[in-house]
Structure 1
């Protein structure tokens, strides 16, 4: 049992293991029908989570980046077109790894925008709650080796890092992101890039590239046991394409000129491809850009070149990640395990709109921390690259808005599942959710239920993955989501959505999400009865999962600024203290010098 586990976790994991042993000794009549049949090898499982990748970023979804390895998995397996996740990383990761709603799992939002008065409330502690089991714990109890490499962002310290959540081996970044070329922070909220191996602080190489380094470490963990000795569960949480957007030039240079037409051109092209690929119904309307979006053609030539290059690096970062994934697949093939490995490829939320470079005080912070923002070397070591809001709006096509918001651009994401038992060439259009991943994996692995643990909110997708034609959810099954006041609920063909400031107005709207996935026609006035009924469903959802009311006047951007200042107070106090000492010392020396001169006079 991993060091740092709470007694409750130890009890639940032990109960899982004992239950599995008891069922294995029982007569066949008591075995679960979805358990592996006699003689069938349990599959290895690899979950690959991109960070901030939009629905259409991958080649299999019509993206500009070259992703031949992921595209191969999509051809050999299933591509989901109705998959939704949360609009932020921590809630999505909690749901992905537990099968529970983010509030029930313990991660209602992200710590960077959490109001101080909500800290330590149930569901808002921003780490997996002690009574909740992760998929790693469930599979480890079934004899799986459990391995992890990448971003964690699900708690800090003993018992809250991956080693305390069921992972036997792990290299984890305990932050929302970090530089991709060196072990250092990418924003003032963090003083460094905290990396941990198996729960202990670890010294990272002075230079690396994140996608390659993470795949290399995960491959090393896999190779620590001979092929076939025990199945493994591997969780690869990539930094691609989170800020800072960085990539080796050999990848970025392959997209020279690809984005010179600007963001309006890209959004139009993606919308057209979305219709061709069936991601958008023929004739369905799609909104353009926000009214205050900048006109590409009106920008000075140097600004257009900088913006276009930022997207070349973005595409290069995706291709670099795909190349690293290809090396992982090659290693599994060399071990003779590729054909028995179930792959899941997805993203935690929609594209990132933030501009960190031009925030107040960032110029000084960047100089102090060795960062620059210039065309030469953009995306390379020391470059704090980002794509910004207009590109994020373009990438979110055919959806509306982007990360942070529960409009479709923020939560509709790619999902590819491929491997043993998955019917090849499948396109699955039904509504699916991030909480469905854990029950699906447990189902394929033949994991037994754990009555002592909270029941999962998600449903297994195994039946549709194997070729079944039935819906994943019934037309009257409501599905809710809430993160920092941004909220939505799906039921049947309809969705209600509330986007909060600074971009939204906090008002509920109703959309026919099947015929209008671009969320262009608010039906709340035309169908008040449906809106009222779905708002009642949402109230039930809030009560069931424990959504807490936000403080009056809450604004995510203002809260982030306040939290960054609080985190920087010790550093600022130290700097002010040092400056005071220097000035005081200088003043004392000047006073001594004047006294000595006066004495000589």
Structure 2
């Protein structure tokens, strides 16, 4: 009898044999006037390479803000429709601002994974609700819960480039090296992506890949090694106004912007370079030198990733999207800062305070180092958005929303130096990918009916630079700043906030969108929104305002300005843990600050039960980082406390006697000396019930210290709060901590 041979059926394939690999590269907080590719003065050879080997778009648009752009870019929907009308940390209960991407709007990663792609993401995520970022989860809004099979990066909106709080899939991990050993996040992200590619080629060579590489650069803090910043020494000495003139001229020479484009003037509330006092100019110049080095450095890391794609033989059939900025350059550094979260906390400072504090930690050479969280003057951001009016956070004007994009796909796209001028938006990326892969947007994903795709594919323009644009209407809105594009016209309302001005806008509590002034632009004739035609064409303006209202209603934008609810109107409602009491083990680490007890701005008692050795040294706990935070530690048996107000002011409280040995109860009591935001705090240190030291923190941080650092017990992981143990970090406590109890009082 003949023996039968069982042959399993081949796995069902849902993709064409020539389905392309896809790589999305997203640089953070980078305006169109920075890269040398398009006339700027930051060297961007990797961006040059993609443009030279492919095509570029000079009317591609983002939302003007981090989380909103990313949610839209990855889902193909408008940002409010997917709950991201505001950044994840400042979400509220309105649907358009909830911070949760609904399962009815599956990301392209989830769809492509089902079709047979390997999916992976690196870098900045910023689309997980802030309260869900601890190791306890839930994990369904982490990248691996939304379609990416692999993730390595950080969940928050920003991170120290030297000491980030990192996640691999759903596990918190420490950086592989220290800053002293040469660690930098951009390099690490490139290393890890290259490693993943090599493993993919070895283990799944028959599967196409979908990679999303989203740098933390050049978002603040502006961190890069000195040698990179030194490449730009002296290049910005004549200031931002002169820089803008030079870039505008070169952009025209390169054909990146049309000959009839006009250079828009500086906003009347923004400083001219000539108004900067001479003694402050070296500080302002160095801030820009650091930012430029930071930007070149990340472009070089992107080049390393592209090199590996080419070396592995993937180049020809890999569709690369290199997007220079998830919004325009950021003006959140305001007047130039050594600790950029001062602005988010609304704490007013003078530039001379920053310069004085900088002198204590190494002078100008400390800028860009782990000892600062610097960010440049807002006018450098404006210059980096040449030739447009806006910056990040302005959805009303280009400069906030217009970002260059380069595309390379040798198998299907013929290199062409002519810029694509079709008006497009970040929500158009997903339908473009679906079209070239041959996927019809699914009606159901994982059993859940899907919302329609909002974007319009721009694949039609790949090999036809003169093709008529197919996107007819697109709204923009961030915190009340808004605009509407329709058939070549744009209506814009600046909104209640000026991003580069510190503090809350006057009258914000009485603001209503009904009273905003609208502007009108004919974009067919006015590339940069230089000529307001509102008075000449009131009927056209009325038409566009009505279209905006329709789009806002359809996309869950209402109430207009809903993103201001927490940040400006009700800061007490910011995302915070629901608890008022915690009990921690003595080795608990890496609890993100957004989810940790607010030890720096709520009355509280921290009780530490510890076994103190004779030579006691080390950190008992720390919250935050060197750029801002608080810490309690022991130095040669002396109990110490420090409140680091964003480097500008450090309050140190020290006992005068050494701690007793053996079982000891230490209490740190924090109370408001005056009950007001940023009000002074009284801090009392007790040992076994007796007062050992007391002091006053003159100014407190009303919001938070960091975006991505953590609460650590028994050790200072991440960035050390105090310079007193900076060189000893992580300064692990050499005794034993039984538990730490925290209670609001």
TM-score, normalised relative to structure 2:
0.67
Q: Does residue 543 in structure 1 map to residue 521 in structure 2?
A: no
After superposition, where does 1:454-473 map in structure 2 within 5 Å?
Answer: 454-467=451-464, 469-473=466-470
* Whole-Å separation in 2 of the counterparts to 1:172 and 1:365: 30
In the alignment, does 2:194 pair up with 1:219?
A: yes
Deviations 1:125-183 (A, max 9, x none): 21311211111112111211101110111014410010001111111311110100112
1:594 alignment counterpart: none
Counterpart CA distance in 2 for 1:555 and 1:275 is 41
Root-mean-square deviation over aligned CA pairs: 3.1
Does 2:170 correspond to 1:199?
yes
Mapped pair 1:153 → 2:126 = yes
Count of matched residue pairs: 539
Cross-structure match for 1:480: 475
Cα distance in 1, alignment partners of residues 563 and 549 from structure 2: 21
Quick check: 504-513 or 519-528, which moved more? 504-513
8 Å CA contact retained: 1:373, 1:383: no
Stretch moving more, 416-425 or 571-580: 571-580
Deviation track 1:105-144 (CA, whole Å, cap 9, x = no partner) reads: 2211113444xxxx23323221311211111112111211
Superposed, 1:110-121 pairs within 5 Å as 110-114=87-91, 119-121=92-94
Q: Distance in 2 between matches of 1:367 and 1:132?
A: 50
TM-score normalized by the length of structure 1: 0.83
- For 2:110, the equivalent position in structure 1 comes to 137
Aligned 8 A contact 1:74 1:418 in 2: yes
Q: Is the 8 A contact 2:33 2:383 kept in 1?
A: no
Distance change in 2, residues 1:293/1:365 (3 Å): closer
Alpha carbons of 1:222 and 1:398: their partners in 2 closer, same or farther (altered >3 Å)?
same
What SS does the corresponding residue of 2:298 show, helix, strand or coil? helix
Distance, in Å, in 2 between the alignment partners of 1:540 and 1:75 is 41
Distance 1:564 1:400 in 2: 31
Against the structure 1 CA distance between its residues 372 and 436, is the aligned structure 2 distance closer, same or farther, given a 3 Å change threshold? farther
Shift of 1:439: 1.1
Q: How far apart, in 1, do the equivalents of 2:376 and 2:93 lie?
A: 34
Cα deviation, residue 569, structure 1: 3.5
- Residues 25-40 of structure 1: pairs in structure 2 closer than 5 A: 36=16
Structure 1 residues 9-88: aligned runs within 5 Å: 36=16, 41-88=18-65
Measure how far apart 1:429 and its partner are. Answer: 0.5
Aligned 8 A contact 1:162 1:172 in 2:
no
Offset at 1:585? 6.3
3-state secondary structure, aligned to 1:573: coil
Q: Deviations over 1:488-518 (max 9, x none)?
A: 1111221001121222983221111232233
Task: Give the direction of change, closer, same or farther, for the CA distance of 1:442–1:279 in structure 2 (3 Å limit).
Answer: same
| Structure 1: distance between partners of 2:563 and 2:459 | 44
2:518 matched to which residue of 1? 508
Question: Which residue does the alignment assign to 1:599?
Answer: none
Q: Which residue of 2 aligns with 1:421?
A: 412
Partner of 2:326: 348
Bigger mean CA offset, 312-321 vs 287-296: 287-296
Counterpart of 1:354 in 2: which secondary structure? coil
Structure 2 unmatched ranges of 5 or more = 1-10, 445-449, 500-514, 577-593, 607-667, 671-682, 693-745
Q: CA deviation at 1:199?
A: 2.2
Cα distance, 1:365 vs structure 2: 13
Work out the CA distance in 1 between the residues paired with 2:684 and 2:94.
Answer: 44
Deviations 1:411-452 (A, max 9, x none): 010111111312212420110111111111222223343022
Structure that is richer in strand per residue: 2
Give distance in 2, aligned partners of 1:328 and 1:552.
39
User: Bigger CA drift: 268-277 or 531-540?
Assistant: 268-277
Q: Is the contact made by 2:124 and 2:215 (CA closer than 8 Å) also made in structure 1? A: yes
* Structure 2 match to 1:11: none
Q: Structure 1 residues 499 and 327, CA, compared in 2 at 3 Å: closer, same or farther? A: same
Is 1:388 equivalent to 2:405 in the alignment?
A: no
In the alignment, what sits opposite 1:181?
162
State the distance in 2 between where 1:366 and 1:173 align.
31
1:377 corresponds in structure 2 to: 366
CA distance in structure 2 between the aligned counterparts of 1:230 and 1:447, rounded to whole angstroms: 16
Superposition map of 1:228-307 within 5 A: 228-307=205-284
Q: Secondary structure at the match of 1:272?
A: helix
* Residues 1:582 and 1:589: Cα distance change in structure 2 (over 3 Å): closer
TM-aligned CA distance change 1:501 to 1:113, over 3 Å: farther
By how many angstroms is 1:348 displaced?
Answer: 0.5
TM-aligned CA deviation for residue 278 of structure 1:
3.6
Find runs of 4+ consecutive structure 1 residues off by over 6 angstroms: 362-368, 563-566, 584-587
Equivalent residue for 1:438, pick from 412, 430, 435: 430
Query: Is the alpha carbon distance of 1:575 and 1:257 closer, same or farther for their aligned partners in structure 2, counting shifts above 3 Å?
Result: farther
Which of 534, 540, 554 is equivalent to 1:524? 534
Counterpart-to-counterpart distance in 2, 1:421 and 1:324: 26
